[in-house]
Amino acid sequence: MISQRCRAHLSEVGESPLKHLCSAVWVAIRLQGYVCACLVHAVVPCLFTHTTTDGIRQILEDRT
């Protein structure tokens, strides 16, 4: 059911398929929030001045 390539990736990141699914969905939800902040910032530049950048940095730090 899970290809060798998928198993290798899961092993590389040290996650079970369910843990990987949950982690990926959580990252996607967080990114969607940052998209909203970025769109607001595009219209009102004084709002959310560092939200998206700081959030993406945090996501990357959480993954290492």
| pLDDT class of 21 with cuts at 50, 70, 90 | very high
Q: Model pTM?
A: 0.80
Instruction: Give the helix ranges, DSSP H, for the chain.
Output: 4-13, 17-43, 51-63
If one counts every other C-beta atom within 10 angstroms of the C-beta of residue 28, the result is: 9
Residue-range definition of the domain harbouring residue 38 = 4-63
Q: Domain count of the chain? A: 1
State CA 1 to chain mean position distance.
Answer: 26
Is the pLDDT at 1 greater than 80, yes or no? no
| pLDDT class of 34 with cuts at 50, 70, 90 | very high
Give me the chain's average pLDDT, please.
95
pLDDT in the model for residue 2: 83
